[in-house]
Amino acid sequence: MKILVTGGAGYIGSHFVKHLLDNNKEVVVFDNLSRGHKESLPEKIFFEEGDLLNPESFKKIFSKHKFDSIVHFAAFAYVGESVERPEMYYENNVVGSFNLIKAAAENGIKNFVFSSTCSVYGNPENIPISEAEPADPINPYAKTKLMIENILEDFHSAYGMNYAALRYFNAAGAELMGNIGESHDPEPHLIPIVLNTALGKREKVFIFGDDYDTEDGTCIRDYIHVNDLADAHLKALTYLQKEKKSLVVNLGTGTGNSVREIISSSEKITGKNITSEITSRRKGDPAILVADNKKAKETLGWSPEYNLEDIISSAWNWHKNKKF
């Protein structure tokens, strides 16, 4: 079984590639390195540099390799940027994914795992959020992800290509040895920002609003360890291979933590004082996003292994000695 991983040099993709190699799977990574890092991959990996917007570049690998499955991470993933530059997102995410999905169907790929997002739910009415919650995305990034889910659904109906759309909550943490981790520039995500403040690389953390309807007034998110996500991707692949059915599923821990809780846990774990300042709300931030992960547990036999402390301490280990 050979697996094509697009975006395998990115944050979540590289952790998944490591998990596949640890499980003795055959992997080919396809990445344009626009946001990923070649250093996050082992030297001996089969790596193809190329762009989904240039179908010729990946047609070549379909002729070189016989894949059983594709796991598709490659995408732009900054909400704020998608609001300011929607054309980048519709082109890179939707057109790029469409090119890949079309080539996958033409090449008889049977299993397609797709990185989706809990932000497809927009401002959900029910917490925790189950897959029954209607998808109603409120920013271009999330809209592109839902469009791709819809394309996959139609290709499934027309050509029988099974897919798993994995709707992640907040991916966080790092590989436990500190060799790979989150490395974005600029860095929009809370935990790296908090840890970079602990390291003195930033002066303070700006808390985006403390007037939400939550216990301490700050937003609550469901932070899930990137290794738990990697494990769920492999389980989703196995599900597709065995069950020969498609699947849309949430990946979260079912536990929420506020921005203030992230800061105070990080202070405890790092032993550093982390200065913060309240600023205005960030546009498009719902107060609470927490997963109902029953479906993932039941269908994939998956459950998250890591808690918030594991997430922050592994991320701390990575950020302290960050290699790239």
Binding characters for ligand UDP, 67-86, by CB under 6 A (x = yes): ------------x-------
Angle, in degrees to the nearest 10, between helices 96-106 and 55-64: 30
Among 46, 90, 98, 206, binds ligand UDP (CB under 6 A): 206
Nearest in space to 147 (alpha carbons), one of 71, 89, 85: 89
CA-to-CA distance for 4 and 68, rounded, in angstroms?
Answer: 8
| Catalytic status, residue 141 | yes
Which of 153, 29, 307 has its CA nearest to residue 12? Answer: 29
User: Which stretches within the chain are classed as H helix?
Assistant: 11-22, 55-64, 79-84, 86-89, 96-106, 140-159, 190-198, 226-243, 259-270, 294-300, 308-320
Q: What angle do CA 60, 23, 9 make, to 5 degrees?
A: 45
The CA distance from 83 to 308, in Å, is 30
CB closer to ligand UDP, 45 vs 220 = 220
Using DSSP bridges, classify how beta strands 220-221 and 257-258 pair: parallel, antiparallel or unpaired: antiparallel
Mark the segment that binds ligand UDP (CB under 6 A) among 89-97, 142-150, 204-212, 303-311: 204-212
Q: Does 170 bind ligand UDP (CB under 6 A)?
A: yes
Q: Which is nearer to ligand UDP, 17 or 193 (CB)?
A: 193
113 is a site residue for ligand UDP (CB under 6 A): no
* Least distance CB 172 / ligand UDP (angstroms): 8
The answer to the question of residue 123 lying near ligand UDP (CB under 6 A) is no
CA atoms of 32 and 7, how far apart (whole Å): 8
When asked if residue 214 is in the footprint of ligand UDP (CB under 6 A), the reply is no
Structure-block tokens of residue 263: 């800061």
Contacts of 63 (CB under 8 A, 6+ apart): none
Shortest reach from residue 176's CB to ligand UDP, in Å: 21
First-to-last alpha carbon distance for the chain, in angstroms, is 31
Q: Is 235 in the site for ligand UDP (CB under 6 A)?
A: no
Taking CB under 6 A as the criterion, the residue among 240, 259, 296, 308 binding ligand UDP is 259
The residue annotated as part of the active site, out of 11, 78, 121, 141, is 141
| Residue 207 in the binding site for ligand UDP (CB under 6 A) | yes
Binding status of residue 312 toward ligand UDP by CB under 6 A: no
Q: Is 301 in the site for ligand UDP (CB under 6 A)?
A: no
Closer CB to ligand UDP, residue 3 or residue 35? 35
Q: Cite the active site residues.
A: 141
The residue ranges that bind ligand UDP (CB under 6 A) are 79, 170, 188-190, 193, 205-208, 219, 221, 259, 282, 285
